[in-house]
Amino acid sequence: MSALAPPRTASTAATGSPSEPAPVRSGITVPAWVWAIPPVVLLALAVLYPLGSVISESFTGPDGGFSTRPYVDVLSSTRFRTALTTTVLIAVGSTVGCLVLGLVLALIIAFVPFPGSGSAGRFIDTYLSFPSFLITLALLFVYGTVGMANGMWTDLTGADSGPFTFLSTPWGVILAEVTFFTPFVLRPLLAAFAQIDTAQLEAASSLGARPARVVRSVILPEALPALVAGGALVLVLCLNEFAIVLFTGAKDVVTLPMLVYSSAILEADYTTACVVATINATLSIGLYLLYRSLTSRLGAPTDGGRRARP
Partner 1 sequence: MGIRLDGVSVSYGGTTVLDSLDLTVEPGEFTALLGPSGSGKTTALRTVAGFVRPDSGRVHLGGRDVTDLPPYDRGVGMVVQSYALFPHMRVERNVAFGLRAQGVPRNEVASRVTEALEMTGMGSYARRYPRELSGGQQQRVAISRALAIRPKVLLLDEPLSALDARLRAEMTDELARLHRELPDLTVLHVTHDQGEALTLADRVAVLDRARLREYDTPRALYDRPRTAFTAGFVGSANLLPARLEGDRVRVCGLELPVSPEDLPAGTADGAGLQVCLRPHRIVLGPAEHTLRGTVTDLSWRGSVHHLTVDVDGRSVTVELAGHRTPPGPGGAVELGFDRDDAVLIPVGEEP
Partner 2 sequence: MLVHDRLTRRAIQALFALLFLPLFALPLGVIVAASFSTGWSGALPSGPTLDNYAVAFGPQTLEALRVSVVTALVASVCALVIGTWAALSAASMGPKGRRIMDALFMLPVAVPTVVVGLALLVAFSRPPVLLNGTHTIVFLAHTVLVTAFAYQSVSAALTRLDPVYGQVAASLGARPARTLFLVRLPLLLPSLGAATGLCFALSMGELSATMMLYPPDWTPLPVRIFAATDRGALFTGSAFAVVLMATTLLVMFALSLVRTRAGHR
Q: Residue 7 CB, nearest distance to partner 1 (Å)? A: 5
Q: Is 16 in the site for partner 1 (CB under 8 A)?
A: yes
- The residue among 4 and 212 lying less far from partner 1, judged by its C-beta, is 4
Residues that bind partner 2 (rule: CB under 8 A) add up to a total of 97
Q: Is 108 in the site for partner 2 (CB under 8 A)?
A: yes
CA distance 215 to 209: 10
In 3D space, the residue among 144, 146, 154 whose CA is nearest the CA of residue 250 turns out to be 144
Q: Is 76 in the site for partner 1 (CB under 8 A)?
A: no
Q: Is 127 exposed, middle or buried (0-12, 13-18, 19+ CB in 10 A)?
A: middle
Q: Which stretch binds partner 1 (CB under 8 A): 23-31, 71-79, 95-103, 153-161?
A: 23-31
CA distance 194 to 226: 12
8 A C-beta contact, residue 72 and residue 272: no
- The residue among 225 and 257 lying less far from partner 2, judged by its C-beta, is 257
- The residue among 80 and 133 lying less far from partner 2, judged by its C-beta, is 133
Binding to partner 2 in span 165-184, by CB under 8 A: 178-179, 182
- Among partner 1, partner 2, none, the one that 23 touches (CB under a kind-dependent 5 to 8 A) is partner 1
Based on its alpha-carbon atoms, the radius of gyration of the chain, rounded to whole angstroms, reads 26
Q: Which stretch binds partner 1 (CB under 8 A): 16-24, 39-47, 56-64, 243-251?
A: 16-24
**Within 13 Å, how many C-alpha atoms sit on residue 12's CB side?**
7
Q: How far is CA 34 from CA 11, 12, 14, 25, 28, in A?
A: 13, 14, 19, 20, 13
Q: Is 18 in the site for partner 1 (CB under 8 A)?
A: no
- The residue among 88 and 138 lying less far from partner 2, judged by its C-beta, is 138
Q: Which stretch binds partner 1 (CB under 8 A): 25-33, 90-98, 163-171, 218-226?
A: 25-33
CA distance 159 to 140: 20
Of 18, 25, 98, 167, the one binding partner 1 by CB under 8 A: 25
Q: Residue 218 CB, nearest distance to partner 2 (Å)? A: 10
At 66, give phi and psi (nearest 5°): -70, 135
CA distance 28 to 155: 81
- Among partner 1, partner 2, none, the one that 114 touches (CB under a kind-dependent 5 to 8 A) is partner 2
8 A C-beta contact, residue 55 and residue 68: no
Of 74, 91, 99, 140, the one binding partner 2 by CB under 8 A: 140
- The residue among 18 and 223 lying less far from partner 2, judged by its C-beta, is 223
CA distance 72 to 131: 36
Of 260, 272, 295, 300, the one binding partner 2 by CB under 8 A: 260
- The residue among 24 and 156 lying less far from partner 1, judged by its C-beta, is 24
Three-class DSSP category at 60: strand
